[in-house]
Amino acid sequence: MPEVTIKIGQRPYTVNCPAGEEPQLQMAQAALDAEASTLLAHVGRVPEAQMLLMSGLMLADRTLALEEKLKAAEAALAQAKTAAHD
């Protein structure tokens, strides 16, 4: 399993990554780094654990909101399909 160095909030981290999963890891790194950069821009320097926790929570919040939108869209689609069959 290759080791990959990523940067989150201007701090380097070395992580193990299954072979072939590097592009997915880079996309995840970019998303987490974007949240960390936003946090650092607003708050300034924060302890590493707090930066990672807050960045993860912001991503989780965004993910939950998107999941709710997806559920609403799926329900609307199911309703439209039902109406089209009637």
Per the structure, the complete domain to which residue 31 belongs is given by 3-85
The total number of structural domains in the chain stands at 1
Task: Copy the structure tokens of residue 8.
Answer: 């989150």
Q: What is the pLDDT of residue 48?
A: 93
Q: What is the mean pLDDT of residues 21-29?
A: 95
Q: Provide mean pLDDT across the span 7-34.
A: 94
> What tens digit of pLDDT does each residue of 9-21 get?
999 999 999 999 9
Buried b (16+ CB within 10 A) or exposed e, 70-79: eeeeeeeeee
Q: Is the pLDDT of residue 86 over 90?
A: no
Q: pLDDT tens digits, residue range 39-81? A: 999 988 899 999 999 999 999 999 999 999 999 999 999 999 9
Q: Is the pTM of this model over 0.75?
A: yes
DSSP code per residue over 52-71: HHHHHHHHHHHHHHHHHHHH
